[in-house]
Amino acid sequence: MKKTRNIYTALVFIFLYMPIFVLILYSFNSSNSTSTFEGFSLKWYRELFSDSATLDALKNTLILAILSALISTVIGTMAAYGINKMQNKYVKGSVMSVTKIPMMNPEIVTGISMMLLFVFVGVMLGGKSSLGFGTVLIAHVTFNLPYVILSVMPKFKQMDKSLPEAALDLGCTPIQSFFKVELPQILPGIISGLIMAFTLSLDDFVISYFTIGSGFETLPIRIYSMTKKRVTPDMYALSTLIFVSILILLLVSNLVSDKNKEKMSKQAKKITKIVLSSVFAVIAVITLIVFIASAGKETVTVNVYNWGEYISDGSEDTYNTNLEFEKYYEEKLKAQGKDVDVRVNYTTYASNEDLYAKLKSGAGGYDIIIPSDYMIERLKADGLIQQLDLSKIPNFDNIEEQFRNPFYDKDPNEKYTVMYTYGVIGIIYNKDKLAPADLEKIENGEAGWELLWDEKYKGQILQFNNARDAFGTAMYALGIDVNNATDEDWQNAYNKLLMQKPLVQSYVMDEIYNKMESGEATLAAYYAGDCLSMIANNESLGFFYPKNENGEYVTNIFADAMCIPKDAQNVEHAYEYINFMLSPEAARANAEYIYYASPNSVVINNEDYIDYLGEDYDLIYDPDFNNLITANGEEITYIEYMFNTYAYRDLSDESRAKLNSLWEGLKVDSASFGSGIYIICAVILVLLIGFIVYKYIERRRHRRLYWNNAAQPKVVVSRNDFNSTAMYDAVKAELEATKENEKK
């Protein structure tokens, strides 16, 4: 019995801490591979502390957590004090229930409702963008409050009610009584409430996500938005550091809360005092820094909203785009006689849809956004982005002719966007595992999409875990026009994917890195830039663009472009930023960092850049893409043709619904347990109900037995009855016996 108990405990601990152990291990990995541990190194920690954006986010998160924890602790303690003083039981009860509701409420509901409220109030007050640090702070204080109240309340209840009276009696005013007598009693509750609020606020994502504004990014949001590329291992290092700090915090809080149970040694008291005072010192310093930073010179702020990991940010000794811009622009303004600080507020999003939701809600305030092609169409149609004045972007001339007027921004006289990068979807494969015949085909440039439907590679194929791209592969394979698909076309594409399903190992996005690099999977379609990153980590991987039987490239091409939202706060600065991004240095640094194709002629033709890419250059910029072809009587480059033909357009609502429902169908089916999971759930539910009913019946039977048996001795004994019972007789007999003894 003891043994099983120990094994059970061990299992629980393994399940709880295994993931964290792996995380800590990989934070010391010398490579960025997630599959193999290649040696101990502190590289990612070094990396972390040189990544200013992440450190910024960390700083923001800490400031937010500390401030919201402090404010909610003060308010929560006052609330608990008030609730505790309430005389009416019913009022007290209902106030407590109302207090608990925000804890039960799904975070998403809280988040959305808060965003609505803030935007609504902001609009009423006439502000352009109402979301910002203040709103996240309010939101965090709101969701922290119940936890603080619930941890302080019991301490009030435990406290001897006459303590405050004793204090008053000895001459304390009510306020003195609170601080001198009541506060020391409830302090452990306050501290544990403070720590709980701090940790809750530290890792909150959902509520922050909805209430955060343009100028502010917290760590969870930053990590979440790193999905365009993948989560970098310096995040493992950061997570490790956070885990360790929380662990320490927890130990300290246990020390403090033990205070009331056990007598604390003098030393422990001293430690607590030191810890508490240092926490307050840190808070004071941070407040001071924030204050000083906010004072000082006038600051020009440019709010940039981009994909995560989508700019050269100074990590691994690269070019720090935002920092360079700040320097450059400060000097430029100085030359104009304006001595100001320039600050780039760089925040990130995870998907086009997130960006759209944010802009649509009116919670904007961004000066630069970098959406993808189809989303630009939608933003333009909704009037959420503004027309650009090209005279303010002289570097626009650096953009190659063929990328100046893409399909989503066709009119040369009415420009809304400046292309940032573009990319093509290709197929990545493992040379060691592919059949020689197929390798030869690829070599000869004859391979196409059908390779992903090849029975030979059953269980080794990866497919996109995103509806549009997955359906895209099937449509390109079938020769269907991705932008004008009929219902029948959609159905055919669906059938094609259904056919592929038995061959597919799994539907993946970021996990593809791991699976391809480790050789677990053999074939997959993915974005060119990412494919080349994988090849750099595993030399047996190869890459090609699929062709149709006529020898033409048929694959998706996509572009991300810089735009200025309608409600931008600093349009002038936004132009300056865009222009800077097109400058030779910044553009090249970003192209090298992101590894997607650049539309910028000064980059493409730069010898150093060509050297830097080496073999990859011809893969990214396939020479065939520049071939001229004639389409609709116009002579255009092949890449222009691809943009016009194969790039995804914004779907109509109807098509989007169709796509989503088909995709759901495919995915639900794809989960191998399928309907099995429902059966399992049903069985568990039935067993549970059966058990409860059995217990109920059993208890009733017991009760009946108990009552039946207990009925006999259970007689109500009254005083009069007692006089005539056997007991009384016994006493009488005893007394008579003693009398007789006396006589003798």
Q: Interface with another protein by CB under 8 A: which residues?
A: 160, 162-163, 165-174, 176-177, 180-181, 184-185, 263, 719, 732, 735, 739
Closest CA to 235 of 39, 517, 62, 23: 23
Contact 663, 470 (CB under 8 A): yes
Between 618 and 734, CB nearer to another protein: 734
What is the C-alpha to C-alpha distance for residues 522 and 460, in angstroms, rounded to an integer? Answer: 5
Q: Residue 652 to residues 35, 488, 657: CA-CA distances in angstroms?
A: 41, 16, 9
Strands 557-562 vs 461-464: parallel, antiparallel or unpaired = unpaired
Q: How far apart are CA 611 and CA 473, in angstroms?
A: 32
Cα–Cα distance for residue pair 312/292, rounded to 1 Å? 29
Please identify, using beta-carbon distances, which residue of 291 and 722 lies nearer to another protein: 722
Write the secondary structure of 220-272 as one string of H (helix), E (strand) and C (coil).
HHHHHCCCCCCCCCHHHHHHHHHHHHHHHHHHHHHHHHHHHHCCCCHHHHHHH
356-376 as b/e: b if 16+ CB within 10 A: bebbeebbbbbbbbbbbbbbb
Q: For residue 688, count other CB atoms closer than 10 A to its CB.
A: 10
Q: How do beta strands 418-430 and 541-544 pair? A: antiparallel
Residue among 155 and 229 whose Cβ is closer to another protein: 155
Q: Which is nearer to another protein, 167 or 226 (CB)?
A: 167
Nearer to another protein, 172 or 439 (CB): 172
3-state secondary structure of 299: strand
Classify 630 as helix, strand or coil: strand
Q: Quick one: 3 or 739, whose CB is closer to another protein?
A: 739
User: Smallest distance, Å, CB 269 to another protein?
Assistant: 11
- Closer to another protein by Cβ: residue 273 or 656: 273
Q: Between residues 160 and 298, which has the closer beta carbon with respect to another protein?
A: 160
Reduce the DSSP state of residue 614 to 3 states and report it: coil
What minimum distance in Å lies between the beta carbon of 75 and another protein? 24
Q: How far apart are CA 408 and CA 424, in angstroms?
A: 17
CB 150, CB 96: distance < 8 Å: no
Write the CB contacts of 461 (distance below 8 Å, at least 6 apart in sequence): 452, 500, 503, 504, 505, 521, 522, 523, 524
Task: Report d(CA 376, CA 325) in Å as an integer.
Answer: 25
DSSP β-bridge partners for residue 428: 524, 543
CB of 251 to another protein, least distance (A): 23
Shortest gap between Cβ of 73 and another protein (angstroms)?
19
Q: Which is nearer to another protein, 41 or 173 (CB)?
A: 173
Q: DSSP assignment of 381-393, as one string?
A: HTT-B----GGG-
Q: Is 303 exposed, middle or buried (0-12, 13-18, 19+ CB in 10 A)?
A: buried
What gap in Å lies between CA 217 and CA 52, rounded to an integer?
Answer: 13
Shortest distance (Å) from residue 44 CB to another protein? 46
Q: How is residue 10 written in tokens?
A: 């061990």
Q: Are 43 and 30 in contact (CB under 8 A)?
A: yes
Least Å from the CB of residue 186 to another protein: 11
- Kindly state the smallest distance separating residue 89's Cβ from another protein, in Å: 11
Q: How far is the CB of 256 from another protein (least distance, A)?
A: 14
Please state, in angstroms and as integers, the Cα–Cα distance from residue 674 to each residue in 504, 636, 665, 679, following that order: 16, 49, 11, 10
Closest to 129 (Cα-Cα) out of 359, 383, 456, 328 = 359
Residues forming a β-bridge with 597: 422
Q: Give min distance, CB of 80 to another protein, in A.
A: 19
Question: Nearest 5°: phi and psi at 612?
Answer: -60, -45
CB of 161 to another protein, least distance (A): 9
Lookup: tokens for 87:
């005389």
Cβ closer to another protein: 260 or 465? 260
* Closest CB to another protein among residues 259, 566: 259
Minimum distance from CB of 171 to another protein (Å)? 5
Shortest Å distance, C-beta 742 to another protein? 9
Q: How far is the CB of 712 from another protein (least distance, A)?
A: 24
Q: How far is the CB of 266 from another protein (least distance, A)?
A: 12
CB of 191 to another protein, least distance (A): 14
Looking at beta carbons only, is 120 or 722 nearer to another protein?
A: 722
Decide whether 4 or 162 has the Cβ nearer to another protein.
162
Q: Which residue bears the tokens 């008291």?
A: 269
Q: Is 717 helix (H, G, I), strand (E, B) or coil?
A: coil
Nearer to another protein, 484 or 718 (CB): 718
Question: Smallest distance, Å, CB 167 to another protein?
Answer: 8
Instruction: Select from 312, 368, 743, 360 the least CA-distant residue to 568.
Output: 368
Q: Based on CB atoms, which residue is closest to another protein, 94 or 723?
A: 723
Q: Which is nearer to another protein, 3 or 161 (CB)?
A: 161
